[in-house]
Amino acid sequence: MRERVAVQFTKIHPDAQAPTQGSSLAAGWDLRAIEETTVSSRTSAKVKTGLKIAIPAGYEGQIRARSSLGAKGLILPNAPGTIDADYRGELMVLMTWIGEGESYTIPKGERVAQLVIAPVPKVEFMEVSEEELSETERGEGGFGSTGRF
């Protein structure tokens, strides 16, 4: 059985809509735009949701792109965006238009992104010498070094 995580939210705009799941097993909760927003070619715009949330300590919110918008050329340049547990401002989605044409207009009410709530472990960084780092098969290979398939 999965653990239930209670995330409080409030609507700060009369047109704001509560996050919704597309299906009972969907990982993300859809976020909707509260106003029409035009994103010009190769630029970014903040899309307002009219929501504020309180993510519990020990968790984070991840803002992820909706594949249907990404297929059109509307992407999240910082995907996934991170919402820390202590943030209490309005949820906004940073979107960039890389598709054809001069701009893309997001209609009011459009599902613009997904919010995923994920656990954040307590982490302790320990400085060691380079020789103390464990060796792996991959080693120092990066940026595509694991192959294409």
Quick check: 60 pLDDT over 90? yes
Contact assessment for residue 66 and residue 105, using Cβ atoms and an 8 Å cutoff: no
**Amino acid present at 127:** E
Tokens 């202590």 appear where?
86
Residue 148 confidence (pLDDT) = 58
Those residues with Cβ within 8 angstroms of residue 18's Cβ, 6 or more apart along the chain or in another chain: 9, 11, 51
Beta bridge partners of 36: none
pLDDT tens digits, 105-115: 999 999 999 99
Domains identified in the chain, total number: 1
Q: Can you give the residue range of the structural domain that contains 57?
A: 8-132
The CATH number that applies at residue 26 is 2.70.40.10
143 in a structural domain:
no
β-pairing verdict for 90-97 and 111-119: unpaired
User: Over the chain, what is the mean pLDDT?
Assistant: 92
